[in-house]
């Protein structure tokens, strides 16, 4: 009976479109929880304060479904090949692959609702709770226990059929289901590519990421001023980063997704026009443009901050007028990075713009950035004269 029920659930999950499915007992994985607590104690979560109250949130989750026995762990392959560069010219920034199409939270939630509908019809006495990121579930550990793959050094689940490109979600239930045994999904062996290739050195040890150094964290989660020393390392990543995934040998196992919602044509694809971002003058315009995509995880001022950093790294003089105009009207967070970008690009036009802004700037952080950029421009000019 238990085996038949489990097979029916897995069969429907595949019918709905999930690429991988496994089932585990809902008992906590103590090793994973201990590791997470140590990770938090080291401060590696940065400003993601919502991660710090994991224990309290888990307690509330258990109150919602106190007799939980099983967790159905589901995975969706979101890999799409890199399309040709949609935006001609050098003024574009890269987007992490997970955000090329529609917002995966919405997409997976719709499929989970189909799963829940099936489960409630089939097992009316059961209780079910769907999770897509928002619940305190250490999903990668559960996915590993369910045989969906193994955790790579860069902490992602690596699957022998789909590589590192899986979205994970779960359904917690009080049904007693047959748990899968963790399979030998492979290992990183002697490979340390992700650690060696990470631009900022955010992967500080096997299975340990310091989010405060991670480009994905800095461009998506972090709301403050990006440290100066990290800005050049961001290169042309305007939203997220895939370096530790594309350098992973398991990337060679990737297959094109069958989920149309995750394909580039369903969203903004792999590149953003940076200059066009500065044409979005209000939060409403910004939210309207990026509606139904994961790009809204970063608000307008964060995205303009990111765009300024990328333009500073690209060092294209033709962008100076756009940067100068934005410097006169944007909020301090954006102005700091615009001043840095102008200093990076350099030239007389950029120098004059920074001096002009300095005469009327009231924000201390922006003033500090302008002064630093002007000093660096003076040094560069002196070196050129020599």
In the predicted structure, residue 223 carries a pLDDT above the cut 50: yes
Mean pLDDT of 179-194: 87
Rounded to whole angstroms, the Cα distance separating 236 from 95 reads: 9
What pLDDT, on a 0 to 100 scale, did the predictor assign at position 312? 98
Q: Residue 228's CB: how many other CB atoms inside 10 A?
A: 12
Torsion angles phi and psi, residue 203, rounded to 5: -85, 95
pLDDT exceeds 60 at position 286: yes
CA distances from 86 to 58, 264, 269 (A): 43, 10, 8
Strands 92-95 and 237-239, bridge-based pairing = parallel
pLDDT of residue 182: 76
pLDDT (tens digit, 9 = 90+) per residue, 320-352? Answer: 999 999 999 999 999 999 999 999 999 999 999
Q: Residue 386: pLDDT band by 50, 70, 90 thresholds? A: very low
Which residue numbers are catalytic?
Answer: 133
The most distant pair of C-alpha atoms in the chain lies apart, rounded to whole Å, by 84
Give the pLDDT confidence score for residue 90 in this predicted structure.
66
Question: What are 8-28's pLDDT values in tens digits?
Answer: 999 999 999 999 999 999 987
Q: Point out which residues pair with 170 in neighbouring strands.
A: 73, 131
Q: Which of 13-22, 134-143, 242-251 has the lowest mean pLDDT?
A: 134-143
Looking at the chain, the whole-number percentage of residues with pLDDT higher than 70 is 96
Say how far apart CA 362 and CA 42 lie, in whole Å. Answer: 36
| pLDDT score at 85 | 61
Average pLDDT over residues 163-181: 96
Q: How many CB atoms lie within 10 A of CB 208?
A: 17
Which residues, including other chains, have CB under 8 Å from residue 219's CB and lie 6 or more apart? 234, 237, 238, 239, 240, 241, 298, 302, 306
Q: What is the mean pLDDT of the chain?
A: 94
Mean pLDDT across the stretch 180-206? Answer: 91
**Does 183 or 266 have the greater pLDDT score?**
266
pLDDT exceeds 60 at position 384: no
- Measured distance CA(72)–CA(170) in Å, rounded: 5
Asked if pLDDT for residue 385 goes beyond 50, the answer is no
Of the CA atoms within 13 Å of residue 154, those in its CB half-sphere come to 28
In what helix (H) or strand (E) does residue 375 lie, and over which residues does it extend?
helix 364-385
Higher-scoring residue by pLDDT: 86, 173: 173
pLDDT at 254 over 50: yes
Q: What is the mean pLDDT of residues 126-151?
A: 93
Q: What is the mean pLDDT of residues 293-316?
A: 98
pLDDT above 60 for 263: yes
Euclidean distance between the first and final Cα of the chain, in Å?
84
Q: Are 196 and 212 in contact (CB under 8 A)?
A: no
Instruction: Return the pLDDT at 300.
Output: 99
Cβ–Cβ contacts within 10 Å for residue 317, how many? 11
pLDDT at res. 5? 92
pLDDT in tens, 208-217: 999 999 999 9
In the structure encoding, which two tokens stand for residue 218, read together?
């800095």
Q: Which residues of 31-62 are buried (b: 16+ CB within 10 A; e: fewer)?
A: ebeeebeebeeeebbbeeeebeebeebbeebe
Q: State the average pLDDT over residues 266-294.
A: 96
pLDDT greater than 60 at residue 383: no
* Domains of the chain from N-terminus onward: 2-173 (no CATH), 193-243+269-381 (1.25.10)
Euclidean distance between CA atoms 220 and 296, whole angstroms: 9
* DSSP 8-state assignment for residue 225: P
d(C-alpha 13, C-alpha 115), whole Å? 7
Supply 52's token pair: 């710090």
The one-character DSSP state at 343 is H
Task: Give the rounded percent of residues in the chain with a pLDDT score beyond 90.
Answer: 87
Residue with the larger pLDDT of the pair 184 and 26: 26
Instruction: Examine the pLDDT at 86 and tell me if it is beyond 60.
Output: no
- Among 87-101, 174-188, 253-267, top mean pLDDT goes to 253-267
Q: Which residues contact 294 (CB under 8 A, 6 or more apart)?
A: 98, 99, 103, 104, 105
């Amino acid at each position: 009976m238990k085996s038949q029920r489990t097979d029916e659930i897995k069969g429907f999950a595949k019918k709905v479109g999930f690429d991988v499915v496994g089932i585990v007992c809902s008992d906590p994985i103590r090793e994973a929880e201990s590791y997470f607590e140590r990770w938090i104690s080291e401060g590696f979560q940065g400003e993601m304060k919502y991660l710090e109250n994991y224990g309290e949130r888990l307690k509330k989750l258990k109150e919602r479904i106190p007799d939980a026995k099983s967790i159905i762990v589901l995975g969706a392959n979101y890999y799409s090949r890199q399309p040709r560069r949609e935006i001609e010219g050098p003024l574009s920034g890269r987007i992490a692959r997970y955000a090329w199409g529609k917002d995966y939270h919405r997409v997976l939630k719709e499929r989970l609702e189909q799963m829940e509908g099936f489960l409630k019809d089939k097992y009316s006495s059961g209780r079910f709770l769907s999770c897509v990121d928002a619940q305190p579930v250490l999903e990668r550990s559960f996915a590993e226990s369910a045989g969906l793959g193994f955790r790579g050094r860069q902490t992602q689940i690596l699957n022998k059929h789909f590589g590192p490109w899986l979205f994970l979600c779960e359904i917690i239930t009080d049904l007693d289901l047959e748990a899968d045994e963790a399979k030998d999904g492979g290992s990183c062996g002697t490979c340390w590519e992700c650690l060696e290739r990470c631009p900022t050195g955010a992967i500080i040890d096997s299975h340990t990421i310091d989010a405060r150094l991670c480009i994905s964290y800095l461009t998506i989660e972090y709301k403050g001023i990006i440290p100066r020393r990290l800005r050049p390392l961001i290169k042309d990543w305007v939203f997220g980063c895939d370096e530790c995934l594309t350098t992973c040998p398991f990337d060679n196992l990737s297959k094109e997704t069958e989920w149309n919602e995750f394909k580039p044509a369903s969203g903004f694809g792999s590149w953003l026009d940076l200059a066009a971002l500065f044409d979005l003058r209000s939060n409403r315009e910004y939210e309207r443009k990026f509606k139904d995509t994961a790009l809204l995880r970063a608000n307008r001022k964060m995205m303009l901050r990111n765009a300024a950093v990328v333009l500073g790294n690209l060092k294209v003089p033709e962008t100076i007028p756009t940067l100068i105009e934005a410097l006169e009207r944007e909020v301090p967070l954006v102005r700091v990075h615009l001043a840095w970008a102008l200093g990076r690009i350099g030239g007389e036009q950029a120098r004059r713009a920074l001096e002009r802004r300095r005469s009327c700037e009231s924000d201390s952080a922006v003033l500090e950035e302008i002064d630093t950029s002007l000093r660096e421009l003076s040094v560069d000019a002196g070196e050129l004269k020599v």
